Each structure stands twice: as C-alpha cells, then as structure tokens.
Structure 1
Amino acid sequence: MKKILNNTLLNKYIVKHNIKNIFDDTILKYAQLHYYEKNEHILQADYELDYYYLFVDGKIKISYLLENGKSILLRFYTDFDSLGDVELLNNVPVRCNVEAIENTHLIALPSKILRDSYCDNPKFLKHIINSLSQKLDAIGNNSSYNLMYPLINRLSSYIVEHITDKDYIQLNSSFKEIAQFLGTTYRHLNRTFNKLESQGIIKCYDKTIYILKEEELRKLSKNIYIV
C-alpha cells in the first residue's frame, strides 16, 4: 500500500463521488488517498479495522473466509462503495478478505476518529444504512441463485448482466474469478461456455463473447446477478 500525497487527485475523487454528501469537512481533513497494486490485500479477516475505506477507482474482490481455511467469493466492486461498515459500527475485527485485482485507489478515514466523533452523524448513518442494505440484497440474491439453478442458467445470467448495445461483451474478470463468483470450478465453467457455443448462442474469442442469439440467452437467464 502506498499513501498518495496528491490533494488534487484526492479532491477529484471527493467531487466525482459526491463524498461531501456523506462526510463534513471536519472529517474530510483526515482523509488519505491509498493506492493498492494488483493482487495486494486491502483488508484481511480477523485483523483490526484501522481505516474505513471508500472505494473510488479500480477493481476489488470480497471473499468470506471459512473455518476450514477455504473462502467464498461474495462480490466484485467496480463502482463506488464502502468497506468496513459492520466492523466500524460494532468495533469488531474485519470479517472478509479484500483484495485488489486491478490497481486500485481508496479514500481512507481513520476508524477511531469516525467512532469517536462521527458515528451519530445523520448523513453518515444514512450512507451506512444504504450501503448495508444494498450489500445484503446483493449477497442474498447471488447466493440463492447459485444454490437454485444449474450453471448454464447462472452463466447465461452473468453474460446478460454485461450486455450493452453491442453484439458482444468484453469480460473484465478472469475465468477463474468468474468460476469463483458462480460457485463452480474452472473446468465446469469452460464446459458450459463450450455448451453455449455448440448451441450457437454465443461465440468466444478469449475474453470477448459475441452474442449470436440474445433471445435464447435471455430465456436461459433466470435472474440477474448483482456484481
């Protein structure tokens, strides 16, 4: 981790993500800009939360560590979000592992200062409520879907979620990351991609997926993942 001493860049992120709607200047004077390189851990389970983070640029993944040492991939973050909501309010150790999978910038605010002087601020409490409710909805939605539907339906939904106005999508995650997110193995994921190709629904060129039969793909998609 590197602390970026660049107030111009810090203020750019504050304006871009309307962070003054969450924090007053009395708190933002403590804000730091932290930079994490690809594959670097941002938070680790069972460690103390030193900073409450606002994710402002890059890509990170959130994993829950099980007692047997294995982990479950919960979500990817590619848009503005916060890290440490539960830990900050309850003053407990970090619950999840957070890892940068692209070079990432976060705004860091010291947890102790927030606990001592800001946790009863209405603007901040509203932000916390919205943040926690969105995360609960996303994790509940995705976990239920992974349990209920075969992989071909889950993969179709994942692809549909990324469709824009083009006839193809460009995957930003590795196939290993997608397999983790969908709750399967790399081999099973590869077989399912091949099955969709053999049915003439998609065509794969590395991480570019051409949509040949969008209507058929949407029929297979039973739900939409929240990523």
Structure 2
Amino acid sequence: MIKIKNEKQINELCEKYQITLRFANWNYLAKELVHYQKGEIIAICGENYDRLFFLVKGSIRFTCVADNYEEYFFFDAYNNGLFGEVEYLLNIPSITQSEAIEDCDCIVIPINKNRKFLDNDLIFQNFLGQVLARKYNELRDSYMNAKVFSLRTRLAAYLINNANCDTNISNLTQISKILRCSYRQLLREFKFFCEVGCLEHLNKKGKYKIANYEKLEAYTREEV
C-alpha cells in the first residue's frame, strides 16, 4: 500500500469519476489516494474496516470463506466502484476478503474521522441506498440462477455457449467467477465431465477440450 500525497491528482480523479457529487460536504472530508499493487490484500474478512473506498483505477476481487474453508467468489469491483458501505452502515468488521487483481488506485475516506459528516449527509445517504439496491439486485439474479440450476447444468451451458470441439478450455479461474462457485467445486465438475466422456483433460495442466458436444449438451437439461 502506497499513499500518494498529491492533492491535485486526488481532485482530478474525484472530478473525473464524479465522486464529489456524491457528497454535500465533500470539502470537509478527510480523504487520501492509495495505490495497491497486484496481489496485495486490501482487507481480510473479520478485520476492522474503518474505510470507504472509491476504486478509480484497476480492479479488486472480493471473496468469502465458508465454514468448510472453501473460498467463494463474491464479485469484482471495477473503476468507479464503491465498497466498504456495508461495514460503514452496520459498523461491523469486513464481511469479505478483498485483493487487488491488478495494480489499482482508490480514493479512501476514513470512516471514524468523517462519521459526523457522513451520517448527516443526505446526498451521500441517498447514493448509498442506490449502490446497495443495485448490488442487491445483481446478487439476487445470481442467487436465483444458482438455486434454479445446478452447477453442473450451468457449467455445461457455459461450455456449450462459449467453446467448441476445437477450443482449448483453460480459463478455469474466470469460469469459477462467472458461475459463482469455488475453484475446487469447479474442478470436481470438470473431473466428472471427463469421466463421462464429455470433456478431455489435455496433457497441459489445467487445459481441457470438449470431447463429445452432443453428450455435454444433454447436461444442460436438469433431468440428465
């Protein structure tokens, strides 16, 4: 983590991403520009979380760890994304682990230093409501799809729609993110499809190809 002490750059980024418009008392808020390197952990689940973040460059991955210690993808934040709002509103430790998946810059607003201004800022509170409503709607759609269709069915449908018999399948991390499952869960499903002859595991580690398109397509239907 590197704090960038450049007031001009902070103001330019806040104007560019319209962050200043999210607050009635922007000029009174303590804030800083922070750079995180690729692979750096920004927050650990359960640790005290006294910051609001506006992501202005790069992307950050958020994951949750279940009781069985499997890691589950939660969501990725990209430019102009806000995070830390749940911890701010409920005054609780971090509910996710966040990691920079590429070099990124954030406008960071310390919560305790700014609590009085934030709590009484109607423009900011309205903005928070919109952010939470949008995230809830996106997660609701993902949750409903996960409940209605099994991971096996969703994986088969994804492969049918995004690969063919001549395509090598290697982006397993990205696929687990899209299907909202752990990497370990995804590997189990790939192993199953190899065992039943739908996929072929190539010699190169982590690479697969479709061995039987019609058979794989049958698994897009739940009754299989």
Contact 1:89 1:115 in 2 (8 A): no
Q: CA RMSD in A?
A: 2.8
Query: Relative to structure 1, is the Cα distance of residues 125 and 39 closer, same or farther in structure 2, using a 3 angstrom cutoff?
Result: same
Matched, 1:176 2:173: yes
Counterpart Cα distance in 2 of 1:179 and 1:42: 22
Counterpart Cα distance in 2 of 1:116 and 1:174: 46
Offset of 1:76 from its aligned partner?
Answer: 1.2
Offset of 1:52 from its aligned partner?
Answer: 1.0
Counterpart Cα distance in 2 of 1:88 and 1:5: 25
Matched, 1:80 2:85: no
Counterpart Cα distance in 1 of 2:120 and 2:159: 42
Counterpart Cα distance in 1 of 2:159 and 2:107: 33
TM normalised by structure 1 equals 0.71
- 1:167 maps to none
Deviation readout 1:182-206 (Å, 9 max, x if unpaired): 12424746967733x975xxxxxxx
Mean CA deviation greater in 65-74 or 173-182: 173-182
What SS does the corresponding residue of 1:135 show, helix, strand or coil?
helix
Offset of 1:156 from its aligned partner?
Answer: 6.4
Q: How many corresponding residue pairs?
A: 186
Structure 2: gaps of 5 or more residues: 163-169, 194-198, 200-207, 214-219
TM normalised by structure 2 equals 0.72
Contact 2:50 2:88 in 1 (8 A): no
What SS does the corresponding residue of 2:113 show, helix, strand or coil?
helix
Query: Relative to structure 1, is the Cα distance of residues 10 and 147 closer, same or farther in structure 2, using a 3 angstrom cutoff?
Result: same
Q: 2:209 aligns with which of 194, 211, 221?
A: 194
- 2:96 maps to 96
Counterpart Cα distance in 2 of 1:25 and 1:143: 36
| One-letter amino acid of the structure 1 residue matched with residue 173 of structure 2 | K
- 1:215 maps to none
Contact 1:60 1:77 in 2 (8 A): yes
Deviation readout 1:11-58 (Å, 9 max, x if unpaired): 222011101111233344x11011111111111111111211111110
Offset of 1:97 from its aligned partner?
Answer: 0.7
Deviation readout 1:93-127 (Å, 9 max, x if unpaired): 11111111011111100111232222221110111
Counterpart Cα distance in 2 of 1:15 and 1:189: 46
Within-5 A mapping of 1:12-91: 12-23=12-23, 24-28=25-29, 30-91=30-91
| One-letter amino acid of the structure 2 residue matched with residue 130 of structure 1 | Q
Query: Relative to structure 1, is the Cα distance of residues 34 and 174 closer, same or farther in structure 2, using a 3 angstrom cutoff?
Result: farther
Counterpart Cα distance in 1 of 2:19 and 2:144: 32
- 2:9 maps to 9
Counterpart Cα distance in 2 of 1:27 and 1:7: 14
Counterpart Cα distance in 2 of 1:48 and 1:5: 24
Counterpart Cα distance in 2 of 1:137 and 1:189: 30
Counterpart Cα distance in 2 of 1:58 and 1:189: 31
What SS does the corresponding residue of 1:3 show, helix, strand or coil?
strand
- 2:157 maps to 153
Structure 1: gaps of 5 or more residues: 160-172, 200-219, 221-227
Query: Relative to structure 1, is the Cα distance of residues 96 and 148 closer, same or farther in structure 2, using a 3 angstrom cutoff?
Result: same
